[in-house]
Structure 1
């Protein structure tokens, strides 16, 4: 870090020496123009030959009433979202083109946000962050070079608020179904002698649709900076604290279907306690496996960012950014009928039985430095950029209470490991207008990753790992502007990606890195009141790490390599302003997502029918060909019909259709999620009385027609049979039911 801050200090001195005399007043246009330097290297622009969608803060304002960011982006092309608690607050997820969140590269002001080890994104750690966002860009496919882990389905780029030229204060208060509440306050000083400061405090609470799936989320955002015509310096601190009751287990299929015979069969083969059996029989589709009062996830994360942008002259600009992220927290679990040896195998009383309350901790630090240099003259726009990140994370478990006969010191650690990951990347990107009609892009990235894990897992297994990866990720494309309204584009990109921590430490077969060849071909038509976009894509994977459909003991998805697989489809978007009162926007994705060949393994436990002791435990391997990739629907459709009956008043019907999804990669109808069609109603109205700048009233009615649907799930199969029996495999399906009709009502006051 010393080198980072030394470099920042030298850079500040250099740009200060070159800066011209500061202006006393700055208008918002100049503010936005200089702020573009921050993200111009990684953002797609109108002529960039990739598939992307921009979302402004204004577009999100009427639905930003407490739900997490993935849920707010549900209407974007090729997007499917889900919520563990069923109501969009707490643990939520996003998939793009069938790729889960670990394969969606997320950056905030160009800083990587994906967890370095798991590669996932946990929006529950940043509640109400959308209230501090200026705009969002979702690039589908490989997209342009960015910082952090490689984009294998999409990249999501968040840009925080532009400094406001004038002072302001805003507060939003919302209430809704399932005890959902949101309260925030935003303030800003405006530009005063080239300086400004802004801040936000937020609290979101919800009881959740699923039983006991409550969430208590707090967050803040602070920014201060200096801005003139040549230089922007901003310091940002934001963070979140979440306490979320766990609902990771899902709901057994028979419970979702209210199949009493199926529930009893589930009880008979899984041997729950009497209390657990009653929970299964009586809870209905809001069932939650967890019943211990404090079965919570408790985590806090704080981000510190420093950004310096400078326009040296009309041709040359630069940006450097530093980041430190501090995270620490645990999830707590009650476990009954445990063996002391499962925690402390060397204890002389290892066979003791008892109940345990344990906490599994994660304590991590993440440092990042990213930079971009831009030279722009006439027809050439040239970028040199990249970054360096380092992550250190401690994983450990402690017993905070037990009923073992043997005495164990409270808070005794029963496992410990650490992870150390270093990620270096650099890219050069050239954009060139060959003539008035033809635009060319060449983007070359080199990325090096080193990962080391040392220690034992929560299962007390050795997880020593040391791996290094070197990746070259080239991208090239062309855009041809036919006339003022029509253009076509095409691109080809290669992306490589390393396995994550769980792949390396939990997979019995050491996983390989993945490679993706992404082909995109698109057409755009834009007129004053109408637009139409079509994008063809073919994503050819080598050694793709696909979801098996099963989860590990902490709700994390299990993955395995398949040699050859692909995703191919067409994405369609259109919008038409019929008149001043009516507008329609729609998108649809039609795709095939296939694995050419893979081995499906189910383990066969055979037991002695007289003693019930296991006699053998062997794998049963079945080879499958040309099957569907799990969680990859062939059809996704979204539409928004907007009616504006009065000035500043809108009524919008938001519709979403998601086709059938398979829980694993066997294309089995018995292991699938049914297609669903959901409609939401959004009503917004703004008034501007003399005593206040604006009053906004927003109503969101989710699942307007009370559809009972599920958006996610998992599955596993096994044989458990007497020796010599030919009994079929048992399959357990679990689903995450989503809320029936519910509402959120909010009032925003702007001063």
Structure 2
């Protein structure tokens, strides 16, 4: 039904566009000015003393060929991206300055997007969302106050398309390696009597580089509104549905390296079945552990947003926004040799064994209201804002099939828990320009978080959490403009962050919230022909939550606080315009990321060699000092050489270097990922025949030198040895191999 409504909307808009005899004339500066009211309170400006980068829809256009949003941001400073399926479609991830997505605050039109409980972001739920994006701002470090989860490494601020002054219709069709396809249709009415409407419908499919790591993704975006010189009212509905074959398990290190003896050793010590062993031996680096036909993640998410902005006079403007997000879905798993007691421990036949197919569900609702008020007069710019968010989420599991010799309740919840989270924040920001050279910035935020959860976990353990947090996050800085080309800035910012759901429900010891003090010092040089920036940062963490190797009651990994840790580095950016046809842009980050003192835990299982029964199971603790933080390369660099031989032809050579990364916090070379250097080629060609506004051809060739590399992974260690033995610990490393040379070719028609 929903797809039919969307198709009808698109058809009506198409007819309207074609019927227009005259484009609506509207002052585009007024459209842009009112649209900026929506995000002015949370965005950094040119003189704001924080490290940030902007990327526009025009810059994204030639590479927006179906890959997820994180992959399209790969060239931004201090950014590292990864793809589970290896080709940028499906589950993807982003890290900024080494911090993962759970610590990157994401807002869409000022509305929080991070999952309230896990604090992560799942872009697979909104495929092709970039096609409806006007621009994106990435603030590195704590940044300015924003809504939603605490920014603990970066903030990603996304603004959807601003209304077009004239009607349009656009369609893009893409084909590529690994069966990748993208098809979308976008339509807009243009402004007519101050009203407008726009819509997009997209479909993306890919087989994935990793075996069976397919993606079947659909999304939509519909917006309508009213706009005059002083008022903007816009309502939008957007969302997506994804069905992604799981590739979360990763590929064992021996398989990635083609080590046949190592593969056989892995088979032997993990007691793999013959079919599992055959899969491991015959798959190569595209190995996928999962072989069940429907081992999928199936989730749907819909966002409803309403935004009202008004310019009362030259000094005063305000914005009020509301949001409701509905999400529901599951991942399905085939489980071998499970006991009835794994699901129904009170059953009389709890020891009965068999196979089972289970689904683990999320069913959640998220409500948000945010507002901001701006007063601007002469040298003063004052913002007062904040928001309230409410999350209700059900977690439950069911069996949909089994081979047990006894009857078990199919499609009955074998576990159920409820998570409720409310989040309130308020901030005041002031910007003051003194003597035209000094720009002073002050920002104070109060945030209150209340989280409750009760029921049973997926491991059938009781959950009873009720925690409240109150955070005070001050920020201050200044920028000094030396002349028309040079400026320097400095800032100090504090951020606090609550533990996530897993920290609160799995950890036997209640963890402390995390605290970050961020020091930034920078220099900017900008002329018409070249630019350069340098930003020094020192991010001082207290009670940062990290994986220590410790386990919960059922053997799952848990995070624990480490007292002192830091990230320190310098971010460099430069660009030079050699001529109207040739320019070079580059960035590099050099950093140290350290935990000052760290206890690593490996569990020692000893067994009786005669009976194979476990006789001891206890932790072995090793202390480390000044050790590297996992997934935090000391060097990240990127560059783009762009050549425009013709006005209609644009060629770009794109390079990315990521230094060595450790899989855990022990700085162990045996648990690390090698540095990699990847190069891509991008070409776009546009023509404008009389019968159509524009035809654009876009080509993206990824990894043009066909390198074999991995961009993500995980590790765990354990002892499993005969009683009294001194055998070394066993370490298992798993990696996520990325695709070798591959391409995406698209054609866009603009009417």
Normalization by structure 2: what TM-score?
A: 0.96
What does residue 207 of structure 1 align with? 207
Work out the CA distance in 2 between the residues paired with 1:388 and 1:462. 29
What does residue 317 of structure 2 align with? 317
What does residue 81 of structure 1 align with? 81
What does residue 512 of structure 1 align with? 512
1:60 CA drift (Å): 0.3
Query: Is 2:394 aligned against 1:394?
Result: yes
Alignment of 1:133-282 (within 5 A): 133-282=133-282
What does residue 28 of structure 1 align with? 28
Query: Is 2:111 aligned against 1:120?
Result: no
Q: 1:557–1:484: structure 2 CA closer, same or farther, 3 Å change rule?
A: farther
1:648 CA drift (Å): 1.8
1:558 CA drift (Å): 4.7
Q: 1:157–1:553: structure 2 CA closer, same or farther, 3 Å change rule?
A: farther
State the SS of the aligned residue for 1:71. Answer: helix
Work out the CA distance in 1 between the residues paired with 2:249 and 2:90. 14
1:550 CA drift (Å): 9.6
What does residue 606 of structure 1 align with? 606
What does residue 301 of structure 1 align with? 301
State the SS of the aligned residue for 1:34. Answer: helix
Is residue 248–residue 555 contact of structure 1 (8 Å, CA) maintained in 2?
Answer: no
Q: 1:77–1:551: structure 2 CA closer, same or farther, 3 Å change rule?
A: farther
Work out the CA distance in 2 between the residues paired with 1:509 and 1:215. 39
1:556 CA drift (Å): 10
What does residue 566 of structure 2 align with? 566
What does residue 502 of structure 2 align with? 502
What does residue 581 of structure 1 align with? 581
1:559 CA drift (Å): 2.9
Query: Is 2:633 aligned against 1:633?
Result: yes
What does residue 708 of structure 1 align with? 708
Work out the CA distance in 2 between the residues paired with 1:473 and 1:271. 51
1:295 CA drift (Å): 0.1
What does residue 337 of structure 1 align with? 337
1:509 CA drift (Å): 2.4
Is residue 319–residue 372 contact of structure 1 (8 Å, CA) maintained in 2?
Answer: yes
What does residue 377 of structure 1 align with? 377
Is residue 550–residue 714 contact of structure 1 (8 Å, CA) maintained in 2?
Answer: no
Is residue 548–residue 630 contact of structure 1 (8 Å, CA) maintained in 2?
Answer: no
1:646 CA drift (Å): 1.2
Work out the CA distance in 1 between the residues paired with 2:552 and 2:108. 29
What does residue 412 of structure 1 align with? 412
Larger mean Cα displacement after TM superposition, 551-560 or 410-419: 551-560
Is residue 549–residue 715 contact of structure 1 (8 Å, CA) maintained in 2?
Answer: no
Query: Is 2:455 aligned against 1:451?
Result: no
1:27 CA drift (Å): 2.2
Structure 2 residue runs without a partner (length 5+): 1-23
Work out the CA distance in 2 between the residues paired with 1:548 and 1:129. 36
What does residue 15 of structure 1 align with? none
State the SS of the aligned residue for 2:600. Answer: strand
Work out the CA distance in 2 between the residues paired with 1:555 and 1:182. 41
1:547 CA drift (Å): 4.3
Work out the CA distance in 1 between the residues paired with 2:587 and 2:212. 36
Work out the CA distance in 2 between the residues paired with 1:553 and 1:167. 60
Which stretches of structure 1, 4 residues or longer, exceed 3 Å deviation after superposition? 547-558
What does residue 41 of structure 2 align with? 41
1:748 CA drift (Å): 0.4
Q: 1:553–1:370: structure 2 CA closer, same or farther, 3 Å change rule?
A: farther
Structure 1 residue runs without a partner (length 5+): 1-23
1:579 CA drift (Å): 1.0
What does residue 429 of structure 1 align with? 429
Is residue 63–residue 682 contact of structure 1 (8 Å, CA) maintained in 2?
Answer: yes
State the SS of the aligned residue for 1:29. Answer: helix
Q: 1:361–1:550: structure 2 CA closer, same or farther, 3 Å change rule?
A: farther
Work out the CA distance in 2 between the residues paired with 1:359 and 1:412. 11
Work out the CA distance in 2 between the residues paired with 1:507 and 1:334. 27
Larger mean Cα displacement after TM superposition, 521-530 or 641-650: 641-650
Question: How many equivalent residue pairs?
Answer: 728
Q: Structure 1, residues 291-350: CA drift from partner, whole Å, max 9, x if none?
A: 000000000000000000000111000000000000000000000100000100000000
Larger mean Cα displacement after TM superposition, 349-358 or 503-512: 503-512
Q: 1:558–1:173: structure 2 CA closer, same or farther, 3 Å change rule?
A: farther
Alignment of 1:448-527 (within 5 A): 448-527=448-527
Is residue 547–residue 630 contact of structure 1 (8 Å, CA) maintained in 2?
Answer: no
State the SS of the aligned residue for 1:283. Answer: helix
State the SS of the aligned residue for 1:724. Answer: coil
State the SS of the aligned residue for 1:484. Answer: coil
1:420 CA drift (Å): 0.2
Is residue 550–residue 715 contact of structure 1 (8 Å, CA) maintained in 2?
Answer: no
State the SS of the aligned residue for 1:464. Answer: strand
Is residue 531–residue 576 contact of structure 1 (8 Å, CA) maintained in 2?
Answer: yes
Work out the CA distance in 2 between the residues paired with 1:435 and 1:57. 35
Is residue 638–residue 656 contact of structure 1 (8 Å, CA) maintained in 2?
Answer: yes
Query: Is 2:92 aligned against 1:92?
Result: yes
Is residue 508–residue 552 contact of structure 2 (8 Å, CA) maintained in 1?
Answer: no
1:29 CA drift (Å): 1.5
Normalization by structure 1: what TM-score?
A: 0.96
Q: Structure 1, residues 188-219: CA drift from partner, whole Å, max 9, x if none?
A: 00001000000000000000000000000000
1:508 CA drift (Å): 2.7
Q: Structure 1, residues 214-262: CA drift from partner, whole Å, max 9, x if none?
A: 0000000000000000100000100100000000000000010010000
